[in-house]
Amino acid sequence: MSRAERIQQQIQSLNPAHIELVDESKKHEGHAKRMGVTDGTLSETHFKLVLISPAFEGKSRVERSQMVYGLLGDEFKNGLHALSQSLHTPDEWLKLKPNFKFQTPNCGGKM
């Protein structure tokens, strides 16, 4: 099972109404050399997650992130390097969706 599949499986406990999970590892290939990987095996290390869940009702942005990080602790211990998150309730998503754009920086902070 791929890391992306495991992440999707692990966040199901939040009863998501919508999930977008994008592997952005290719945008961060510069990390490989800094991490000592020279054989091209560095993959599934950087993800972007848009998650819409009623479980986020009444939670702050920090609490929402803590919920997700709590579910993915083992992934971070085993090679997941970064997870950019956009976490919303279904009501928030209805308002955001028409103009929603979630951009993450390239390695080195360049957009």
pTM equals 0.80
* pLDDT score of 38 more than 60: no
Q: Report, as an integer, the average pLDDT of 36-61.
A: 82
Q: How far is CA 71 from the centre of its chain?
A: 12
DSSP letters for 74-98: HHHHTT--EEEEEEE-HHHHHHHGG
Q: How many other CB atoms sit within 10 Å of the CB of residue 64?
A: 20
3-state secondary structure of 67: helix
Find out whether 31 and 109 touch, Cβ atoms under 8 Å. Answer: no
CA pseudo-torsion sign 100, 91, 9, 76 = positive
User: What integer pLDDT is reported at residue 64 of this predicted model?
Assistant: 98
Is residue 54 within 8 Å of 90, Cβ to Cβ? yes
Which pLDDT does position 109 carry in this prediction? 47
